Structure 1
């Protein structure tokens, strides 16, 4: 892995801001930080010594955006000019995603004629976008929000994921845990309890790597 230099760490923060359509001040504000925390003038001391972002500020950025540490590290180690790629990806309404013919057995989009959105950073050529409809996922996701989903990204406990059941239902959930024969999913509405699915009822599961909130 490439060395995480001062310039690369700050470039990753810039790239995250671009990825979410924000200025660095907007990214800092969304993360609950002073709006000037990521400004160019704050990246060195008065005598020219490099000033690094704190681990706490990076953690707050990841929490506010839904990006993972792996996402951040990828941006920080990418070759210049390759981290940001404005590429078109398929878009489908979440309520229509359960219909047949949209996905293969691995949860990757199939066919043609999709509507598309352009997304400035994606490592998975099979990534796609889901548009939230209705109010079933409030307050976390609201109607019109766009979720970018990566079928090939590894999932772990705590990830926000999209799950398709063998009944054809597609839903956005929080991955709480997995056992030998079951999977525990948390709702995005904190007022509702977690629930456990038999693994043989889960057709596929894919990680949400970004949301337009």
Structure 2
């Protein structure tokens, strides 16, 4: 039994059928799970820009073709831009300089409250690509992997399941962070930002800002994957993705607050 479509039905199945490609073949090409692709095809899971680019490369078509002819998409989505900046450690102030705007305008773009013009989209694409190349070129020799951790349910709460179960390729934004790690997201409803089974990449040396997504470890060793929506003398407010308000936790009850800088969908 399949679920109901929650998102616009993309053009993926039609593109597959035109090429006589099975779900398994596509999954192998883009290195994603067959089940996740099937859910996206049916509109049960959101087609993000990251996924759309992977499908576009697999089918050798423009990204817009993946979304479908009747679906309007932005040339640059705030979600894609935020993900790329976090994954590669790119700074907002540098993007503001590239666009010739105030840093507050970048905040508006990332929050989705400021629209991006066609010309700005071209500049952003060029800036992201050139900045990524500079990061790779200037990166010092480093470990190419980070520990991969799992979560387990313990008495109604989630905790880290002992030691890391292995390693996974690191992100450029995790360079030189000795506390960097990856964790498989389970048990926390954070769709469409993060789905169950996604691998989240976190760093410990960069402070989280309001609106960032974090992995919070409490003093009782329980773990929360949430969005930071407020911070003050009374503590931190951690919320689900669809909420502006959440649970306020005293600072004394938080052992560490690690910033999520990227994710990989399964």
- TM tier relative to shorter chain: 0.5 to 0.7
Task: Give the number of equivalent residue pairs.
Answer: 160
Bigger share in helix? 2
Deviations 1:52-87 (CA, angstroms, capped at 9, x unpaired)? xxxx73856324x36449822473643626389771
- Aligned residue in 2 for 1:148: 201
Specify the SS of the correspondent of 1:209: strand
Specify the SS of the correspondent of 1:80: helix
Specify the SS of the correspondent of 1:144: coil
Deviations 1:156-204 (CA, angstroms, capped at 9, x unpaired)? 111100101122210111111211131111113x269512111111111
Q: Which among 146, 149, 169 is matched to residue 118 of structure 1?
A: 169
Moved over 6 A (4+): 83-86
Q: Which among 160, 167, 178 is matched to residue 213 of structure 2?
A: 160
Deviations 1:113-150 (CA, angstroms, capped at 9, x unpaired)? 64111225222232101012246434432232100010
Deviations 1:77-108 (CA, angstroms, capped at 9, x unpaired)? 436263897712101113377258x5xxxxxx
* Mapped pair 1:89 → 2:89: no
Query: C-alpha distance in 2, partners of 1:194/1:90?
Result: 30
- Aligned residue in 1 for 2:89: 71
* Preserved contact between residue 28 and residue 36 of structure 1 (Cα < 8 Å): no
TM-score (norm 1): 0.58
Structure 1, unaligned stretches of length 5 or more? 1-19, 38-55, 103-111
* Mapped pair 1:131 → 2:181: no
Query: C-alpha distance in 2, partners of 1:36/1:85?
Result: 34
* Preserved contact between residue 188 and residue 225 of structure 2 (Cα < 8 Å): no
Query: C-alpha distance in 1, partners of 2:230/2:190?
Result: 20
TM-score (norm 2): 0.48
- Aligned residue in 2 for 1:5: none
Specify the SS of the correspondent of 2:159: coil
Query: C-alpha distance in 1, partners of 2:218/2:208?
Result: 17
Structure 2, unaligned stretches of length 5 or more? 1-29, 33-48, 54-60, 65-74, 92-130
- Aligned residue in 1 for 2:236: 183
Query: C-alpha distance in 1, partners of 2:84/2:220?
Result: 28
